[in-house]
Amino acid sequence: MRSVKLLVTLGLVVAAAVGCGDQRAPADNRVRDADTAERARRVAAAWEGSEAARVWSRGYYPLGDAVQLPAGAFHDDADKRAYATQNFTLHALLPDTAKKRAKVRWRDGDSLTLPLASAREAYDKVARGGNSGPALTVTAARLGEMTVPTSRGTATVPAWLFTVKGYDTPLKRVAVTPSELPRSPIGAVPERTDALMPLVGLETVARDGRTLTVRAEHGGCDDGPAVDVLETEGSVVFSASIRGTADGPCTSESRVEKLTVKLRHPVGDRIVLDAFTGRPVPPRQQSARPAR
């Protein structure tokens, strides 16, 4: 995967190692490569007024983390390691609930009823460790709520609240599954190049709605990934690429880094799209069912 044409990017410089958080926002959001720009425009145009956009506007698609940590987390390195390795000890009976479905509610009054995960299902998504290292202890669980950013703005969603020993507030885990993703009105690009690659996913959307962190892939013999942005009235289209590639032998090593992008306007209810796939950028914690 070596292109002779060097993509002039937005100046996103990422000095971090794999998964590190040393991220810098681009100077502006102009898409500068002609082919990449044309692809981004085609993706935006395909979604504008489409059936997929209609389905998206009515679904529950979270843009934030499915877990909210207790206040003050974490007290020490042992607790940090326990959470990072998903190592938990359960010292409580997880409650059953007769409810099989629950509502997601938006601030404008809209709501959507979705299947409700059990306390056991939610706990198992958080506690996948089981190693001999430090562990966090769960002493109780109850059904409650939490707020998350979504494609339709902030929503109040059902959540399981787990009491963690040593912390005054619970660890919260979303208790509903995202809606089924709509089928994209435009197909993916047939082949990866250094000038256009698929994004790995959407990491976070900041409170200001303008600062988005995405994850992008690159190799071991380049200067890292970059992301260009096309903003339209109905969508935000990201175009991922690789900077500073050169011809010659190279290892097949694959790395993933985080890039922080500053939009001109808050994302709001616009669709966040990947120019390569032609589909919505998948949120980090989203485990949605496959497209129809």
Return the number of other C-beta atoms located less than 10 Å from residue 163's C-beta.
18
Query: Is there a contact between 23 and 258 (Cβ–Cβ < 8 Å)?
Result: yes
Residue with tokens 């993706």: 43
| Polymer length in residues for the chain | 292
- DSSP-derived letter for residue 207 is T
pLDDT higher than 50, residue 23: no
- Amino acid residing at 194: D
Considering the entire predicted model, what is its pTM? 0.74
Mind listing the domains of the chain with CATH numbers? 1-59+180-292 (no CATH), 67-174 (2.40.128)
Distance CA 104, CA 60 (A): 8
Among residues of the chain, what percentage have pLDDT more than 70? 81
Nearest CA to 226 among 203, 248, 199?
199
Q: What average pLDDT does the segment 232-254 reach?
A: 79
- Between CA 94 and CA 102, with CA 100 as vertex, the angle to 5 degrees is 100
Q: Is the peptide bond before 276 cis (omega within 30 degrees of 0)?
A: no
Q: What average pLDDT does the segment 46-51 reach?
A: 96
Which residues share a beta bridge with 163?
Answer: 140
Q: Specify the pLDDT at position 164.
A: 97
Alpha helices by DSSP H, the chain: 34-47, 51-58, 77-84, 119-126
Return the structure tokens found at 243. Answer: 């900077």
pLDDT higher than 80, residue 14: no
Residue 252 pLDDT class (50, 70, 90 cuts)? low
Distance CA 252, CA 1 (A): 10
Residue 16 pLDDT class (50, 70, 90 cuts)? very low
Distance CA 137, CA 127 (A): 10
Distance CA 202, CA 216 (A): 9
Q: Which segment of 26-35, 208-217, 277-286 scores lowest on mean pLDDT?
A: 26-35
Q: Specify the pLDDT at position 289.
A: 33
Strands 235-242 and 271-274 turn out to be parallel
* Cα-trace Rg, the chain: 20
Return the structure tokens found at 235. Answer: 């969508």
Query: Is there a contact between 171 and 291 (Cβ–Cβ < 8 Å)?
Result: no
Strands (E) across 131-191 are located at 136-150, 153-164, 171-174
Q: Specify the pLDDT at position 250.
A: 62
pLDDT higher than 90, residue 285: no
Q: Specify the pLDDT at position 257.
A: 84
Measured over the CA atoms of residue 20, residue 26, residue 30 and residue 32, the dihedral's sign is negative
Across the chain, mean pLDDT equals 83
Among residues of the chain, what percentage have pLDDT more than 90? 56
pLDDT in tens, 53-95: 999 999 999 987 899 999 999 999 999 999 999 999 999 999 9
Residue 247 pLDDT class (50, 70, 90 cuts)? low
Distance CA 276, CA 237 (A): 10
